[in-house]
Amino acid sequence: MAYTYTLGIESTAHTLGIGIMANDTVLADVRYMYEPESGGIHPADAAQHHTHHAQSALFAALQEADLSITDLSAIAFAQGPGLGPCLDVGAVMARTLALSLDIPLIGVNHPLAHIAIGLWTTGLTDPIVVYVSGGNSQLLALSHQQYRVFGETLDVPIGNALDKFARTTGIPHPGGPEIERKAQNGSQLIQLPYVVKGMDFSFSGLLTQVQRKYQEGYAITDLCYSFQEYTFAMLVEATERALAFLEKDSVLLVGGVGANQRLCDMFTTMCRERGAQFVACPMTYAVDNGVMIAYLGWLQYCNAETTSLAASTTDPHWRSDEVTVTW
Ligand code: AMP
Ligand code: MG
């Protein structure tokens, strides 16, 4: 059997990832993660980090896959959404490889790659997808060949809110894991804004409040606990509404915030009570990585969805609901 060897490049934000797949078998998964020296992600610094590691990431991936560069069949890259300078590093790499090897170039939508790898790893076929990361917070479901956004944040993504709160309190980036640890020692539920509008939600007012309460001297453990309880309850409520309206029977959690055990527990409880199935994408593939780009790239390749050079411009605001899903 002849294999299609797809190389996938992820560079939308903090991670430069290169994955190589032989059809749907993972051969290589190389990741270099940018860690800001201070504050949050600086797009230009992150792009410089990706450029710096591009060559070694490529060679490491080929070595791990035990392939030579001429064995590759197609080059997939995350075309958007994401941070412009970071996206461009991956796109330049992808165009250079595809042109010099004379093989197809495949632009991949980053959130759809999260969904595709989530379906593949969990075996779910038609879930409500909860995509919660540093840059996105959306509820999506497939309808008429498009992953439509049924609910989303009206302002900051939840991961970004967690990271911003962490920054105010001196917790290093990314803040989610340490906030989760501190929350385990919190017990006092501090009143915060709870904003759900239909299936949309908002975190910015809550973020301002929790920052203010930190300055007022509230215990950090109680603030972390309350932050999680409020924001996660908002996500779960909106998801439950989406499940009911769309008559779906499963929920798939993807994105870095999905690492949070409390969030998973809350989804598990809600789904159990509704007779629905809840599955979180395994953490290895829930965070940004090159394998998911290679995987969706391969699916698109099988459907002859390649990207011409002229159409390969990156789009920092490319929405998942603009893509027709053929896979
Ligand atoms: P991603 O953008 O998908 O790579 O995910 C990164 C985001 O996930 C950051 O905002 C992190 O703070 C957040 N994150 C990572 N681990 C956890 C956790 N255990 N609890 C909550 N958020 C987390
Ligand atoms: Mg992501």
Q: Based on the fold, state whether residues 72 and 212 are members of the same structural domain.
A: no
Residue 44: give its domain's CATH number: 3.30.420.40
- Ligand 1 atom 17: the closest Cα is on which residue? 176
Nearest listed ligand to the Cα of residue 15: 1
* Ion ligand 2 — residues with CB < 5 Å: 133, 288
**What's the pLDDT score for residue 40?**
80
Among candidates 230, 181, 185, which has minimal Cα distance to 207?
A: 230
From the CA of 132, give the closest atom in ligand 1.
3
Q: Based on the fold, state whether residues 143 and 12 are members of the same structural domain.
A: no
Ligand 2: distance of its center to the CA of 286 in Å? 8
pLDDT tens digits along 166-203: 999 999 889 999 999 999 999 999 999 999 999 999 99
Cis omega (within 30 of 0) for bond into 104: no
Residue range(s) defining the domain that contains residue 64: 5-113+286-322
Give 217's DSSP letter. T
Classify residue 327: in a domain, yes or no: no
Ligand 1 contacts (CB < 6 A) are 133-135, 159, 162-163, 174-177, 180, 255-257, 259-260, 287-288
Ligand 2: distance of its center to the CA of 111 in Å? 6
Q: Based on the fold, state whether residues 160 and 227 are members of the same structural domain.
A: yes
Ligand 2: distance of its center to the CA of 60 in Å? 22
Q: Based on the fold, state whether residues 95 and 173 are members of the same structural domain.
A: no
| Pocket test residue of 162, 265, 291, 292 for ligand 1, highest count of atoms within 8 A of CB | 162
The number of distinct structural domains making up the chain is 2
0.85 exceeded by the pTM?
yes
Q: Based on the fold, state whether residues 78 and 155 are members of the same structural domain.
A: no
* Separation between Cα atoms, residue 206 and residue 209, nearest integer Å: 5
132 pLDDT exceeds 80? Answer: yes
pLDDT tens digits along 51-97: 999 999 999 999 999 999 999 999 999 999 999 999 999 999 999 99
pLDDT tens digits along 158-171: 999 999 999 999 99
The dihedral of CA 23, 24, 28, 31: what is its sign? positive
Nearest listed ligand to the Cα of residue 256: 1
pLDDT tens digits along 252-300: 999 999 999 999 999 999 999 999 999 999 999 999 999 999 999 999 9
Give 12's DSSP letter. S
What mean pLDDT value characterizes the chain?
96
From the CA of 158, give the closest atom in ligand 1.
10
38 pLDDT exceeds 90? Answer: no
* Separation between Cα atoms, residue 254 and residue 180, nearest integer Å: 17
Q: Based on the fold, state whether residues 85 and 232 are members of the same structural domain.
A: no
Classify residue 293: in a domain, yes or no: yes
Q: Where are the beta strands (DSSP E) in the chain?
A: 5-10, 15-22, 25-33, 74-80, 105-109, 128-132, 137-143, 146-152, 196-197, 200-201, 250-254, 277-280
Ligand 1: distance of its center to the CA of 106 in Å? 27
